[in-house]
Amino acid sequence: MHYDERTQKEYAIICNRCGKRGPWGLSKQEAKELAEQDGWQMKDGPLCPECRLREEQEIAIYNLRVDPLVREAYQYAQSFQKEHQDGRTYVRGPAEVDGLPIYILYFWYLAQHGEADYHSLDGVAVYKVKEVERTLFPDLRRVSEVAIWEENGFVRYSESCRV
């Protein structure tokens, strides 16, 4: 980790990617804590919020190119007519998916192909939302887990959110 030293008693973390300086602290530990509070990523070297977002987008694009199932699931979700309401994107389509958030179709496609973080005995597929998926679907910013199942021919889901 690199630090910029303004005086002998003030420090700031430096972004590994762009060289941007983080907030000043009275110690290296305080500078690190202040940077984390401002949205800096400390794992694998410090990244400012802008570079962290850029890296997440690059990973999402890479996964779309390399992982065929992720690409197919994303294309499936994007293939439906969309409607925007209350700052979120919903699907307009057949009755079994009409009105669902678009990212639910992405997870539903993965579930239909046996992909999930875990499956319950009653057929519910559960996913822990990754940063890459939050980049692909901005509506997922506060969602931490998604559970999906089929009930009477309709896709049902439940979400747990971060606060």
Query: 36 with 92, same domain?
Result: no
> Is 40 within the bounds of a domain?
yes
- pTM to 2 decimal places: 0.66
Residue 112 in domain: yes
Alpha helices in 16-145, H assignment, sequence order:
28-37, 49-66, 68-78, 102-112, 131-136
For residues 75 and 145, state if they share a domain: yes
Which pLDDT tens digits describe the chain residue by residue (163 residues)? 666 667 677 888 999 989 899 999 988 899 899 999 998 988 888 999 999 888 888 887 887 778 888 889 989 988 989 888 887 888 888 888 888 998 999 999 999 898 888 888 888 999 998 877 888 888 888 888 999 999 888 889 999 886 5
59 located within any domain: no
Q: Are residues 76 and 138 in the same domain?
A: yes
Same domain, 34 and 75: no
With beta carbons less than 8 A apart as the criterion, state whether 114 and 87 touch. no
Residue 42 within any structural domain of the chain: yes
The reply to whether 82 and 142 lie within a common domain is yes
**Is residue 75 in some structural domain?**
yes
pLDDT of residue 106: 92
Is residue 100 included in any domain, yes or no?
A: yes
Residues 74 and 149 in one domain: yes
Other CB atoms within 10 A of residue 75 CB = 12
Residues 132 and 87 in one domain: yes
For residue 111, what are the domain limits?
68-161
- The pairing of beta strand 81-85 with beta strand 88-92: antiparallel
Q: Are residues 73 and 40 in the same domain?
A: no
Answer yes or no: do 46 and 73 share one domain.
Answer: no
DSSP state of 83: E
